[in-house]
Amino acid sequence: MNVAFIGTGVMGLSMARNLMKGGHSLKVYTRTAEKAAPLVEEGAQLYDSIAGCAADCGAVITMVGFPKDVEEVYLSRGGILDSAEQGALVIDMTTTSPVLWRQIAELARARGLRPLDAPVSGGDSGARDAALTVMAGGREEDFTAALPLFQLMGKSIVYEGPDGSGQHTKMANQIAIAGAVSGVAEAVRYAEVNGLDLNRVMDAISAGSAGSWQLRINGAKMVSGDNRPGFYIKHFVKDLRIALEESEGKGLKLPVLKKTLNTYARMEENGFGDLGTQALIKAYREPSPKADG
């Protein structure tokens, strides 16, 4: 199948490559052409417009940055809704706003397209190893049609329900992470302040009911002082903002999400957006006057 892939950042590049490896003809559009160079070397066709890229494709997949980018690639003049073929699957794999996506999906369907929201988790390594988790929303028959594509990029692929359900599931994922990583940062800071040997503490608490991916991976990085990004603070702030807006729009109060977002947003303002989420420990080690609880 001809597949258009729009947005070849770190994750998009690996995902697009895995589609090519699966035998699909890849057409690529990306804002920064150099980022697509490795794919072009491997046989992808690079286009300088969305319209050219989306023409003649059975599926158009997007993996861009922020909700405004999603809005632009789908809704701008000459964007995906103007360019994709009748009957094409249009699949947004960006983590973005469920409300925005429902609007796009409705317009897309009115034009004879088959929209799916399918954000992923698993990060760079999951994308590289085709081991992503894909959380998909839309019509189930369209999900079934897209499944062979998802299976080339991910390992655990779950149909979650109607338009926006993939995005909502990803938000639930991020909300659970927000609580877990805050708990880990507070536990590590408590242990430090009380003079404990952090490695021994990790030995004692990792196996039991305090155990989590966040404790094992990000807790270890907090202990060793490694702030390199596995997942960027700036991206987590984007996701948690969407989650908070969606919650508040429904009258739902999620105070731990809100507190965690506020702390990360202040870190981003202070220039730490390019650190990994485990750098949350900095906000506890060096609280700014406003950062207190």
By CB under 8 A, the residues from 234 to 273 that bind a second copy are: 243, 246-247, 250, 252-260
Binding to a second copy by residue 22, rule CB under 8 A? Answer: no
Count residues binding a second copy (CB under 8 A).
75
Site residues for a second copy, 124-163, by CB under 8 A, read 126, 133, 135, 156, 158-161
Binding to a second copy by residue 292, rule CB under 8 A? Answer: yes
Place of tokens 């960027």: 232
Q: Residue 39's CB: how many other CB atoms inside 10 A?
A: 22
Choosing from 46, 191, 220, 265, the residue that interacts with a second copy (CB under 8 A) is 191
Choosing from 76, 112, 193, 269, the residue that interacts with a second copy (CB under 8 A) is 193
Determine contact, residues 95/119, Cβ cutoff 8 Å. yes
Determine contact, residues 170/193, Cβ cutoff 8 Å. no
Measured from the CB atom, is 149 or 201 closer to a second copy?
A: 201
Measured from the CB atom, is 255 or 271 closer to a second copy?
A: 255
Choosing from 18, 30, 94, 174, the residue that interacts with a second copy (CB under 8 A) is 174
Q: How far from 65 is each of 5, 142, 234, 239, CA to CA, in Å?
A: 14, 24, 11, 11
Binding to a second copy by residue 10, rule CB under 8 A? Answer: no
**Distance (Å, whole) CA 207 – CA 199:** 13
Determine contact, residues 163/93, Cβ cutoff 8 Å. no
End-to-end CA distance of the chain: 54
259 catalytic? Reply is: no
**Per-residue binder mask for a second copy (CB under 8 A), 195-224, x = binder:** xxx--xx-xxx-xxxxxxxxx-x-x-----
> Which residues make beta-bridge pairs with 90?
60, 115
**Which residues belong to the active site?**
170
